Amino acid sequence: MERISKTRNEFDLFFRDKMEGKIDKLDEARRKIRKSRNKYLGISAMGILPALLFAQFFRSFDFVFYIIAIGFGIYGFIKIHGLQKGFSQQMKQEVIKETVKFINPAFKYDPEKFIPKKTFVNTNIFKKVPNRYRGDDYIWGYVYDSEEKTTKNLEPQAAASLNIQNTEQEEFTPISEKINETIGLNTGDANDTSENVPKTMVAFSEVEALHVTKRRDKDGKTKTYEEKIFKGLFFQVDFNKDFKGVTLVLPRQNLLSRFKQHNVVMRHKDLEDLELDHIDFNEQFTVRTTDETKARYILTPAFMEKLLAFVEDTKESATNRPVNSDLFSTFTDQSKGFNVKKRYVPYFSFKNGKMYFLLNTDHKHFDFNLDQKLDRDLLYYYFEDINKSLQLVEELDLNLRLWNKD
């Protein structure tokens, strides 16, 4: 498998050669947009505050002043949200897309699409099925075996024509099958030299899965309750290996931290708990499997060490990460800063030749804050979680090389 993770030195060279000048110009644009945002904040405040004040003195017309205040509030929200969204779209097109090419030139990026709900449910990790599911920033592509790498690249139009889900209602076909159908793999095309080259399909996106219920309170009023099942990065990897069954690697309650009040993890009668010969790993993770032999083959001592290091490194870097929320949620995120380590919760599902890796981070990875200066370190923070996750994918690929599909 080609190496897809990058070192910090490689990232610094990429930033110097490809991004430094572009980031400087974008930061200048950010300052101008922030100035416009502050102007609309001022206009809204000058309309809302007097209207609320007059409503207190002229009670017979208070509803009129409340409507005026609401109007100014809506006006400010629409204007500020439009500025934030426009800046985010510009950053995704000019920065994230270039960063994806740096990770792997064969990878494709669509900021509007995401891994579909059916795949999320198919992981067999979570007890509840989300009835509200959304996502964005879909990245996907093939990685070829480095020892037998072909010089033939995927046709550029192949991935562009994929119909990856961006709504819940679309019918789902496994992503690898869609790529195969599009580029002519497994169709008997003798001219396609990539057919026999060992390859790994990698796809990931941000997703948020919620379980929403409506209940009546003691006063008879209907209230809506949202239970967050998952919010973070969702990786789907087809290792092209022939291992059957299901193996789940799940955080124990002490690692679930703030999520322990929700019994989110699924229990299945066909899955048996497996105790591994690694004390530290057993303290933080529980393993459930339908095949003990294959589970032990997947979870080598080297991989368990990497997973433990990944958890600690990711949590540590998260504490120093700048807030990337918009204006309306920045204060909330900062007030919860002491909980930031507790947000990073990893889940793994190995099922019928595929790996699903879900990293709960409880924040958006590709949104940009107008109040945060754009520089090299900021861009690296966006890149870091993905890069560390790809290192785990590489380690797993080394473990599974003996199981090639026919």
Query: pLDDT tens track of the chain, all 406 residues?
Result: 667 788 889 999 999 999 999 999 999 999 999 999 999 999 999 999 999 998 888 888 888 989 999 999 999 999 999 999 999 889 999 999 999 999 888 899 999 999 999 999 999 898 889 999 999 999 998 876 655 444 344 444 434 434 455 544 343 344 444 444 433 333 333 334 445 556 778 899 999 999 999 888 778 888 888 888 999 999 998 876 666 788 999 888 654 444 443 445 555 667 888 888 888 888 889 899 998 888 888 888 888 888 888 877 766 665 555 555 544 444 444 444 434 445 577 899 988 888 899 988 887 878 888 898 898 988 888 788 788 888 877 777 665 554 555 4
The range of the structural domain enclosing residue 367 comes to 105-399
Is 20 a domain residue? no
Count CB-CB contacts under 10 A for residue 244. 11
Rounded to whole angstroms, the Cα distance separating 269 from 286 reads 16
Residue 300 placed within a domain: yes
Q: What is the pTM of this model?
A: 0.76
The reply to whether 371 falls in a domain is yes
| Coil, helix or strand at residue 225 | strand
What pLDDT, on the 0 to 100 scale, is given for residue 393? 77
The answer to whether residue 39 sits within a structural domain is no
Rounded distance between C-alpha atoms, residue 398 and residue 402, angstroms: 9
Query: Using CA atoms, how far apart are residues 343 and 358, in angstroms rounded to an integer?
Result: 12
Q: Total domain count for the chain?
A: 1
Is 16 part of any domain?
A: no
Structural domain contains residue 27? no
Pairing of strands 345-351, 246-251: antiparallel
Residue 367 counted as domain residue: yes
Instruction: Assess contact for 193 and 150: CB atoms under 8 A.
Output: yes
Contact between residue 370 and residue 37 where contact means Cβ atoms under 8 Å apart: yes
The closest alpha carbon to 15, from 99, 94, 97, belongs to: 99
> Tell me, what's the pLDDT at 343?
59
Residue 60 has what pLDDT?
Answer: 85
Surface-to-core class of residue 391, CB atoms within 10 Å of its CB (0-12 exposed, 13-18 middle, 19+ buried): middle
Look at residue 99 and tell me if it is in a domain: no
HSE of 54, CA atoms in CB hemisphere, 13 A? 15
Alpha-carbon span 27 to 32, nearest angstrom: 9
pLDDT at 258: 42
Separation of alpha carbons 80 and 72, rounded Å: 12
